[in-house]
């Protein structure tokens, strides 16, 4: 059942990112808990996180090193949190994987100063987004309010989506992927 919350998340997606070519998900989390939750919710919504290509695995292993679980969704752990360069290489590697149509990233809009590292990552992902046809959407585990600081930052990040709550996000992604598939069937292959 579609709720107003689902519609809000769908509008957020459609306002900022392109329609996906398919429904295969890629993901980067900083939490094993969110990783597990995303896998469960994907299955419940008839979505998949496909196996990563061998070339993608090698790229990730080169930057993440020992102690990181490399899979899809990726739990980048401290390596992803601690270095913008490592984080952006992880994002790039997943965007380049041919089996991924939509990239979900764990993050929310900061609501105050003092999150320079987080904001630098958001700006770097926003700059990367126009170079790919794949939608990039940030997802939170829970809903949270936004304030003037977060709204001002949001204006600076027009190329990426911000969706709240993993369950609402994956319901919306399922609906959007289905819509995109139907639209492609009506329009036909692009020339």
- In whole angstroms, what is the distance from residue 91 CA to residue 88 CA? 5
Assign a CATH topology to domain 4-179: Rossmann fold (3.40.50)
Low-confidence ranges of the chain (pLDDT < 70): 1-6, 66-67, 188-191
Cross-strand partners of 136:
103
Model pLDDT, residue 1: 45
Total residues belonging to the chain: 191
pTM of the model: 0.91
Model pLDDT, residue 23: 95
Model pLDDT, residue 191: 47
Model pLDDT, residue 41: 95
Model pLDDT, residue 133: 92
Model pLDDT, residue 22: 94
Model pLDDT, residue 2: 59
Beta strands in 18-158 (DSSP E): 25-29, 74-75, 102-106, 136-139
Consecutive H or E run containing 69: none
Nearest partner of 110 among 77, 155, 154, 169, judged by Cα? 154
Model pLDDT, residue 176: 92
- In whole angstroms, what is the distance from residue 191 CA to residue 167 CA? 36
């Amino acid at each position: 059942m579609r709720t107003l919350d689902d519609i809000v998340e769908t509008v957020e997606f459609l306002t900022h990112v392109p329609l996906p070519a398919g429904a295969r998900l890629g993901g980067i989390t900083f939490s094993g808990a969110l990783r597990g939750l995303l896998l469960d919710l994907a299955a419940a919504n008839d979505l998949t996180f496909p196996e990563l290509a061998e070339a993608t695995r090698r790229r990730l292993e080169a930057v993440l090193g020992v102690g990181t679980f490399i899979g899809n969704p990726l739990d980048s752990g401290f390596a992803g949190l601690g270095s913008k360069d490592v984080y952006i290489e992880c994002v790039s590697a997943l965007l380049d994987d041919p089996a991924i149509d939509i990239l979900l990233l764990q993050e929310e809009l900061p609501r105050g100063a003092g999150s320079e590292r987080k904001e630098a990552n958001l700006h770097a992902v926003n700059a990367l987004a126009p170079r790919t046809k794949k939608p990039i959407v940030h997802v939170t585990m829970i809903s949270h309010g936004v304030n003037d600081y977060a709204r001002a930052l949001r204006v600076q990040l027009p190329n990426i989506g911000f969706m709240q709550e993993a369950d609402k996000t994956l319901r919306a992604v399922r609906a959007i992927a289905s819509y995109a598939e139907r639209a492609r069937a009506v329009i036909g292959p692009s020339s």
